[in-house]
Amino acid sequence: MAVTKIHRTSRFTLYISVLITLVVLGLFYLGGQVPAHEKFVADMSQPKFTDIILYWAYVLLAVTIVVLIGFAIVGFLKGLKENPKKALTGLLTLVGLAALLIVTYAIGDGTILSIPGYEGKDNVPPTLKMTDMWLYSAYFMFVITMLAMIILPLFKRKK
């Protein structure tokens, strides 16, 4: 019974988030352009609902991070009771992820960007380095995932 409740809840959550995403994307792509007198740069395209799509991306990112950390902590605590050695392996995975984020932040570029029409406060080295950190980490994880998809089936065939 608990499993069906989990499936129902996760399916409902997926449907709601996909529906919201489709509405936000529809607003972004079909909502028109900002009037000419409100544009930051006169000759560039600027959709009306750019802020909404950015805020929705922030919400999805924040929820993903909170859920990931929550499940990691709960899984670690459960594993610590059942099999401490296996739980420490999971902890090493989290330590590796933290190390990846630290290294990619360190190699990030903090050079101030020249953005036409932008007067905001986010064009500073720490924010730029953090942006590079997320991009480099995503690239690294994508490459690792692709390599795992290619290499791991080869090991299964040998057995």
Does the pLDDT value for residue 31 go beyond 80?
Answer: yes
Does the pLDDT value for residue 140 go beyond 70?
Answer: yes
What's the CA gap between 62 and 60, in Å, rounded?
6
Q: What are residue 129's phi and psi, to 5 degrees?
A: -65, -35
Structure tokens at 136: 């480099």
pLDDT band at 32 (very low <50, low <70, confident <90, very high): confident
Average pLDDT in the 43-48 region?
81
Q: Higher model confidence: residue 117 or residue 17?
A: 17
Half-sphere exposure of 79 (CA within 13 A, CB side): 14
Does the pLDDT value for residue 66 go beyond 80?
Answer: yes
